[in-house]
Amino acid sequence: MRKLYVGLFASLFFLASASVLAQDKQDKMDMSTSHTMKGYLVDKMCAVGMAKKAPDEAMAKAAKHTKSCALEESCQESGFGLMSGGMWYKFDDNGDKLALALLKKTEKEKEIMVSVTGTHDGDIFKVTSLKEVKSNGAKKTTKPAETKQGDMKMD
């Protein structure tokens, strides 16, 4: 009977290990595939502190992050990235250039939400396109009757 349990345990362990390895391989494949993410544009200097917060708090702080702060010399030099789901994704050099151009062009002072397309190379988001999208602000709870057309989420 003991041999049966050992054999059963070994089989389950093997299957679980194979599943984990297959998922890890799938995750790595997904990271190298071009995809689009949406979130707030934030400089690295400010994002480091935000990313240490709980996801909801990080996103609320990212929504309040200002254009003028991001364009300060030290913040600008630190580079840019995307705050999405409470996590921060650092842009590559091309992404930094696109982000700087967008920041200089936008009329918004805060809640600078963007849609970013590219691939991941380790911890770096290799950006192929970056565009500003409409933000519905830091998550606010409103009754459906109070929702205005200008507050609707735009994908």
Reading the block at residue 31, the tokens are 């990271």
> What pLDDT sits at residue 73?
96
For the full predicted model, state whether its pTM sits above 0.75: no
**3-class state of residue 99 by DSSP:** helix
> What pLDDT sits at residue 148?
32
Burial, 109: exposed, middle or buried (Cβ in 10 Å; 0-12, 13-18, 19+)?
A: exposed
Q: Is the pLDDT of residue 1 over 70?
A: no
- Quick one: average pLDDT of 91-97? 97
